[in-house]
Structure 1
Amino acid sequence: MPIRMADPGDAAALKALVESGYRGDSARRGWTHEADLLSDERITLAELQALLADSTVRVLVRDGAAGALAGCVCVTDRGAGVAYLGMLCVDPALQAGGIGRALIAAAHEAARDHFAAQTMEMTVISARPELIAYYQRRGYARTGETRPFPGVGGDHLSMVVLACALG
């Protein structure tokens, strides 16, 4: 299935996908979850709607079965040739099938084509070495920078900054 730009009508399905992929028992079906680290809401519907309305953000989705989404990724223009990759999420039941790799490739293309970015940056929770390794296998490298964990409930966590040159 093709990857497409999300639209405001996708907000509820995006919320369901992101929550099922990152938090709660449903997330434990996959390997990329944060369910053992955090229990709060990953993103609110209002935050998703704001992302979908923001001209400096492109939310890409891959449709799944029966109106559900199989995956998503968010690309944000940071200016000065840098874009940010965030909210990469694949339905836990569909992980390890290439959807994540396809979404990353589409995110890189969007960053280059729509934001003229030469570098893609991202952050990963420091307590997730297997996820950091996943991104390193896809061309990302640690920058040496760490950032505080954003939001509520992550006082014990930090974010590792990774970057990738966009060819």
Structure 2
Amino acid sequence: MTEIKIREAVAAEIPTLHRLIESAYRGEASRAGWTTEADLLDGQRTDPEDLAGILADPEQALLSAWRGEELVGCVLIADRGEGTGYFGMLSVSPTLQGGGLGRRLVEAAHRALAERFGARRVRISVFPQRETLISWYERLGYHMTGATLPFPYGDPRFGLPKRDDLHFVVMEHELV
């Protein structure tokens, strides 16, 4: 197997990043992995304009994982101020999920958040219906904060909800 290299994504890669993210979260292709949101949402997970905005913002970045010339994973990192970092949009090619790449991307996100933004803690937001994913994050050292965030109903840029009880729980991990 070709070695995986993780590096910061660039704007020329937006179409490839977009395809990967959509395949990891939405539609039938996402069901090949265990992180699909296809039972919760239809529509898009993100769009090229959103990805361009992330890459243009000095307080955010997308880390990308490459196996040779093939994009196999990515993760959004962002500075939330006061020593707090955030990561989201963790995406691994559905047929490669379960092989440790997601964990490697989370570890790379932690390092980048600490080095680039001086983060001492990392927050993430997860649908509470994603119990298997929450358990995975707990095994990585994340804990529930008790905080919740609303789902942006009415904004199709974030997907088309299949249910009316969507929101996010906030989890946090202290960086050492």
TM-score normalised by structure 2 residue count: 0.91
In 1, Cα distance between equivalents of 2:67 and 2:130: 27
- Match in the other structure for 1:110: 112
The reply on whether 1:69 has 2:78 as its aligned counterpart is no
After TM superposition, the structure 1 = structure 2 runs for residues 83-94 of structure 1, keeping only pairs within 5 Å, are: 83-94=85-96
Output the CA distance in 2 between the equivalents of 1:161 and 1:69. 28
Question: Would the aligned equivalents of 1:13 and 1:68 in 2 still touch at CA under 8 Å?
Answer: no
> Following the alignment from structure 1 to structure 2, what is the Cα–Cα distance between the partners of residues 10 and 83?
24
**1:73-120 Cα shifts (integer Å, max 9, x gaps):** 011000100011101010000001110010000000001000001010
Give the match's secondary structure for 1:17. helix
Equivalence for 2:19: 16
The answer to whether 1:163 aligns with 2:172 is yes
| TM-score, structure 1 normalization | 0.96
- 1:58, distance to aligned residue in structure 2 (A): 1.8
Q: Distance in 1 between matches of 2:19 and 2:6?
A: 18
Deviation at 1:62, TM superposition (A): 0.4
Structure with more relative contact order (C-alpha pairs < 8 Å, separation 6 or more): 2
AA matched with 1:161? V
Q: Distance in 1 between matches of 2:143 and 2:71?
A: 29
| Of 1, 5, 16, the match for 2:8 | 5
Percent of counterpart pairs with the same letter? 43
Question: Which residue does the alignment assign to 2:149?
Answer: 147
Q: Does 1:39 align with 2:42?
A: yes
Aligned partner of residue 43 in structure 2, secondary structure = coil
1:17 Cα deviation from its structure 2 partner = 0.3
Q: What is the deviation of 1:64?
A: 3.2
1:156 positional shift: 2.2
Describe the superposition over 1:44-75 as per-residue Cα deviations: whole angstroms up to 9, x where unpaired.
Answer: 1100111111100121000135x431000011
- Gapped runs of 5+ residues in structure 1? none
Q: Deviations over 1:129-153 (max 9, x none)?
A: 1110110000100001111113443
Unaligned ranges ≥5, structure 2: none
